[in-house]
Structure 1
Amino acid sequence: MPDATQSFPHLPSAPGVGYKAQHFIDILNDPGPVGWLEIHAENYMGDGGRPLAQLRVLADRFPISVHGVGLSIGGETRLDPDHLARLKHLVGWLNPASFSEHLAWSTHDSHFLNDLLPLPYTDATLTRVADHIDEVQEVLGRKMLLENPSSYLAFDESTYSETDFLRELVRRTGCGLLLDVNNVFVSATNLDYSPHGYIDAYPLEAVGEIHLGGHDEDQDDHGAPLLIDSHGREVVDPVWALLDDTLAKSGPKPVLVEWDTDVPDWPVLAQEARRADTALTRVLA
């Protein structure tokens, strides 16, 4: 487990946005309420070029959160040592305020799947994921955050609820949690349970970041609502309401707005950040 005496930057309890290169000049000139930025680790594992040069400039101005999408924490095989080494190099020179990954798997044998796939919540899965988290934290020398997934199905073999599974991972590994409230809303709609009940059961004391994003609406084969976690549009009102409920229970937290596809011009994303800032201001008041 990482040395608890080590000092790392901290994310402020303020709005953040997922950084996109087309917003570089806008963010430097007028960040608005944005107090921190998130990058996807896999976009910055090269040896140079404009992306890393821009990141170094931004890191002098803003706390940076590194969000991984390729470790396959829930995979059945060992973590890719080359990927982990590249991640260690990035985290080493950047010294980010936070590192997070998904409770999901995306690899099989030597194949990488372009998706974040769900897991059954069993004792075997718990042991495997905990071992992988321990390895990541040992290699990076810091605590990581684990994000709850968007779910489109549930496993009959699961013996833990998702919230109990996450709570036990925190207990075993000392990791923190990244609570994506849009993922909660998507999963609750798709699997027909209460998103507010999920938040009531969630280990909020372990949360280091909160995420928001947009989703798309569809229907399943039986005509029931089916939500797709797309990160391609504005956050919908019920998700903002769920954020309010969460912050009322947890207190102020770093809140990130994700927008990864059909990325809008900066003023649109900045307006979403202002809405997150308003939610945080209400809690502080």
Structure 2
Amino acid sequence: MPRSLPPSGGIGLKSVHYQNVLDDAAETKRPSWVEVHPQNYFGDGGPAHRWLTAIAGVYPLSFHSVGLSLGSAGGLNADDLDQLAVLCDRYQPAMVSDHLSWSGNAHDRYPDLLPIPYTEEALDHFSGEIGKVQDRLQRSILIENPSRYLSYRDDAMSETDFIDALCRKAGCGLLFDINNVEVTATNVGLDMEAYIDAIDPAIVGEIHLAGHAREDHDSGPLLIDDHGSIVSDISWNLYRRFITRAGAKPTLIEWDSNIPEYDVLMAEVAKVEATLANQQASEPRHAIAR
């Protein structure tokens, strides 16, 4: 029986930190849960699986897939889905997620998570592909809101309306990436706070926080979603705004490039815990009737 993700701070697990998370002497500096990219564990054995087996004995796991390509017109990546199903049977992760994107066609695979148009046709297609995944895995999954660098001229609905409709139509949940809100809003000209306020907390099963790079151009700033630095002040403020309304949610510090020392990563987790503690302390307390 898979354990649930606690509503507290987790980390995106990297091989350089395997020993750190298992170090008994560092128990006070442990995350509450860990997330991995399952594609890194599609082999049958070897050191990676020995480490993950040991870590799964201590922590709840979340699988954050990067390869299903649910938005591809020709359908999802069936090989990835088969291997993901095997891995889920083996480790029983608390959560499984993928992206609101596509990354391949009938002839090529791309190392990018590319945006989809927000149309009724795309909604029908994407929800159908999610249904195939959920039927194969026998569980609901989460879909992550994208980081975008462009928008389609023929979009028929906003991103938040598309996400809400998708979750209800497909019966999935949302992996709410706060950094992606900052990146997308800056790049395509959206209101960040309005975006945050438009998300229904009931559909959110997990939150991601990450850093990004910034390029300054004559036309304005361009944010690059590289997950290679600390979380920005803007993203922290957006996170506080959301959890003030939503309450505590499992929150991941995602760091995929320029991997830092373990203590730097855990300092970001400590900020998550402090933010959640402050939010809970500020909630109104009701008198107990006698």
- Scaled by the length of structure 1, the TM-score of the pair is 0.95
Percent of residue pairs bearing the same amino acid type = 41
2:19 to 22, 25, 28: 25
1:25-104 to structure 2, matched below 5 A, reads 25-29=19-23, 30-31=26-27, 32-104=29-101
Aligned position for 1:4: none
Q: Distance in 1 between matches of 2:2 and 2:22?
A: 24
Unpaired runs of 5+ residues, structure 2, are 282-290
Matched residues, number: 278
Contact residue 21 and residue 30 of structure 2 kept, 8 A: no
Q: Distance in 2 between matches of 1:269 and 1:38?
A: 14
The alpha carbon displacement at 1:203 in A equals 2.2
Q: Distance in 2 between matches of 1:131 and 1:183?
A: 24
Q: Does 1:139 align with 2:102?
A: no
Deviant stretches of 4+, over 2 Å: none
1:114-193 to structure 2, matched below 5 A, reads 114-193=111-190
SS of 1:257's equivalent in the other structure is strand
Contact residue 189 and residue 226 of structure 1 kept, 8 A: yes
2:4 to 2, 6, 10: 10
Q: Does 1:235 align with 2:235?
A: no
Unpaired runs of 5+ residues, structure 1, are 1-6
Aligned position for 2:271: 275
Q: Does 1:284 align with 2:280?
A: yes
Q: Which of these two proteins has the greater Rg computed from alpha carbons?
A: 2
CA RMSD, Structure 1 to Structure 2 (Å): 1.1
The alpha carbon displacement at 1:33 in A equals 5.0
Q: Distance in 1 between matches of 2:53 and 2:81?
A: 21
The alpha carbon displacement at 1:110 in A equals 2.8
The alpha carbon displacement at 1:160 in A equals 1.1
Does the C-alpha gap of structure 1 residues 180 and 98 become closer, same or farther in structure 2, counting only changes over 3 Å? same
Contact residue 72 and residue 106 of structure 1 kept, 8 A: yes
- Scaled by the length of structure 2, the TM-score of the pair is 0.94
Letter in 2 for 1:49: G
Q: Distance in 2 between matches of 1:255 and 1:204?
A: 13
